[in-house]
Amino acid sequence: MTKYFSLGELSELTKATLVGNPKVKISSVDNLESASIEDASFLANPKYNEAMKETKAGVICIDKNTKQIEGKNFLVSDNPSRTFQLIAEKLLASSHQGMGFSGIHPSAIVHETATIEEGVTIGPCAVVDAQATVRKGTILYPHVYVGVGATIGSHCVLYPQSTVRERCQLGNRVILQPGAVIGSCGYGYTTDMKTGRHTKLEQLGNVRLEDDVEIGANTTIDRARFKTTLIKKGSKLDNLVQIAHNVKLGENNIIVTQTGIAGSSKLGNNVFLGGQAGDVGHV
């Protein structure tokens, strides 16, 4: 069933100033070009001013410096993108999380020694192994694997075929996109100089993701050889990123697709690495 919220309600939710009719009802979000009277939209770049003039959106999120147009509804704030995001989360929360059921699907495998807290959803063919912990409100989509002794925090979302291997730890509100691998073995070998044969070095550590980290599709984070590969709170990794063993990423980092960070590197807080960037080891 479609949910509607009045502009008055959305103004209260977002703390943005409403200019217009508080009784107008909004049910979804869209860009300026495609929006209908029941959609919220936003303007974050002046080059779309013409689109704002022509849009049919029921409300437009703008900043305080944007010229308003008579006859249109506006939510005015310092950060219109954030205002729009809050509206989107409110309107679409039920559509982009959940699988049409709650609880543990009959085809899921949950080890008898695992701890599953209240409000957890575990999808078809997902596996939670021995002594693993999944905290309240977390969603495990189909074919997710949670390894022996791993810990998943509260209100996390693990999308299909993501993997959290043994002893790895996820904080609260962590998102793993499809195919993400947390805790794969670090790339470590010793070479016999006489025979040229490579022998695998055991990777004995783990990976820890702090609160509000998001990992993109098919991104891999290797476990430490000793101790922990660490991604600190608020960091966001794009698809197809490789994080090697013993790396330490600071808070609120942005790591864009096809970036590789070599073993034992350390990055500070609020670092931005663009697409296909590389980082040599032990930096």
Catalytic residue numbers read 245
**Would you call 190 helix, strand, or coil by DSSP?**
strand
Which of 47, 258, 233, 256 minimizes the C-alpha distance to 153? Answer: 233
Long-range interactions of 139-143: CB distance < 8 A, separation 24+: 139/97, 139/98, 139/99, 140/108, 141/99, 141/178, 142/99, 142/105
- CB-based burial label for 276 (10 Å; 0-12, 13-18, 19+): exposed
| Element spanning 92, H or E | helix 80-92
- Structure tokens given for 258: 């096809």
**32 in Cβ contact with 51 (< 8 Å):** yes
50: left (phi over 0), alpha (psi -120 to 50) or beta: alpha
Which of 30, 77, 91 minimizes the C-alpha distance to 56? Answer: 30
